[in-house]
Amino acid sequence: MKLIFRIEKNNRYSLIPLIGAVHSRMKDVQIFIAKSVQELVKVPPPAVVAYSFMSFDLDQIFKEVHDLKAMNYTLIAGGPHVTAKPYESLRLGFDHIFVGDGEENLLKFLNGEKKIVFDGLKDRINLDDYPPFCAELDLFMPIEITRGCVFECAYCETPLIGGRKLRHRSIESIVYYCEVGLKKNRYIARFISPNSFGYGSVDGIKPNVQAIDELLFELKRSGMKEIYFGTFPSDVRPESVNDEVLKVIKKYVNNRSIVIGAQSGSEGILKKIKRTHSVEILLKAVDLILANGFTPQVDFIFGFPFERDEDRYETLNLMEKLLKMGCKIHAHTFMPLPGTELEQVGSAFMPEWFRRKIAQLSSQGKLYGYWEKQQILSQKLTGH
């Protein structure tokens, strides 16, 4: 069988673990990687084409699916949009769709199981059963150390896609795959987690300092030259920051900053978006991060449609305070993602005075991020 992964810059982290799963278990499947349709059609049908995509990629996907269907390819899809809108995705023209965890179900499909919808929401996988990347094909990415999130932020798709029950990859498995990478001169360790300080934690909130210490110690001992933990792409929740965990990671990591989510300076907005922490908890976490010699990079989300000017002023005041303390501000714009509680509230809205203020902070180098591009994507999601 020929299996073509339709890879793009923004779906690599979804597809690479699946490529790893297929490559490690199904030797009779020929794997192809296509970065464009032109590349894809060089592998003629019969072949299966695998997609993973976000909701704002729908226009492009719709066109590709239409063209490839006419050429008799078998089309399958998983990922964030499909998980949130399975039946709508089928109507796009896919033959089979995969919701939630894809690894096990993709193998079942390739082994001949006939289903239209493969449900990876109920049947969750154990991360240790699958590789985090595909070293044999030189497809590397940060290692996913935890899948699922115990929090339920109203704007986030992660609890739907990964589930609310945490599944941690074991220390042995992480070290094993880092050693696999080392053999291919991959000396830098990065991780994916919804909350890296929750690694190994039973409740996903209180840090398991012993597990984090052991993990980082073993990675250093294995020969990793650089370790990045608590920074992109694995930020931390304010509730999980304590002095002990910061002192432990300081012994091993190369990152000088810690990425932490504040999202708003308004207690009212924090409640509405279900952040479950207060501004005070955020400020305590920031103090501890600074006291341990790290620079906090604090995430904010602008443009919740229910934000009032009072909320916006509170956010601006908090950002000014954080900047004076020595933090960096990482700016995002709200996107009403399918499958989230805020899907129906409309696209992001920022009054002109607020937009100008954010643009000014950005031009002064006090704030960075893709907040402008995300405003366009936000509108794309609602069609206006």
Q: Which is nearer to ligand SF4, 153 or 227 (CB)?
A: 153
Cα gap 359→300, rounded to integer Å: 14
User: Quick one: tokens of 52?
Assistant: 């993973």
In the chain, where do the E strands start and end? 2-6, 30-34, 48-52, 74-78, 96-100, 117-120, 143-144, 146-147, 167-168, 188-189, 191-192, 226-227, 257-263, 295-302, 328-333, 367-368
* Interaction residues for ligand SF4, span 181-200 (CB under 6 A): 194-195
Binder among 153, 241, 253, 377 for ligand SF4 (CB under 6 A): 153
* Interaction residues for ligand SF4, span 46-85 (CB under 6 A): none
CA 90 vs. chain centroid, Å, equals 24
Instruction: Please choose, out of 38-46, 80-88, 146-154, 241-249, the segment that lies near ligand SF4 by the rule CB under 6 A.
Output: 146-154
Q: Is 163 in the site for ligand SF4 (CB under 6 A)?
A: no
Residue 144 CB neighbours (<10 A): 23
Q: Is 336 in the site for ligand SF4 (CB under 6 A)?
A: no
> For the chain, what is the largest distance between any 2 Cα atoms, rounded to a whole number of angstroms?
61
Q: Which is nearer to ligand SF4, 5 or 151 (CB)?
A: 151
Q: Is 230 in the site for ligand SF4 (CB under 6 A)?
A: no
Q: Is 158 in the site for ligand SF4 (CB under 6 A)?
A: yes
Binder among 81, 96, 147, 237 for ligand SF4 (CB under 6 A): 237
Q: Is 241 in the site for ligand SF4 (CB under 6 A)?
A: no
Packing angle, helices 279-291 and 243-250, rounded to 10 = 40
Q: Is 148 in the site for ligand SF4 (CB under 6 A)?
A: no
Q: Is 334 in the site for ligand SF4 (CB under 6 A)?
A: no
Q: Is 151 in the site for ligand SF4 (CB under 6 A)?
A: yes
Q: What is the DSSP letter of 324?
A: H
Q: Which is nearer to ligand SF4, 74 or 240 (CB)?
A: 240
Bridge partners, residue 97, by sequence = 77, 117
Q: Which is nearer to ligand SF4, 81 or 186 (CB)?
A: 81
Q: Is 285 in the site for ligand SF4 (CB under 6 A)?
A: no
Binder among 7, 16, 97, 156 for ligand SF4 (CB under 6 A): 156
Instruction: Please choose, out of 23-31, 149-157, 250-258, 336-344, the segment that lies near ligand SF4 by the rule CB under 6 A.
Output: 149-157
Q: Is 181 helix (H, G, I), strand (E, B) or coil?
A: helix
Residues in the chain: 384
Q: Is 338 in the site for ligand SF4 (CB under 6 A)?
A: no
Cα gap 380→365, rounded to integer Å: 28
Q: Which is nearer to ligand SF4, 188 or 205 (CB)?
A: 205
Cα gap 115→119, rounded to integer Å: 10
User: Quick one: tokens of 261?
Assistant: 């989510």
Binding site for ligand SF4 (CB under 6 A): 149, 151-153, 156, 158-159, 194-195, 237
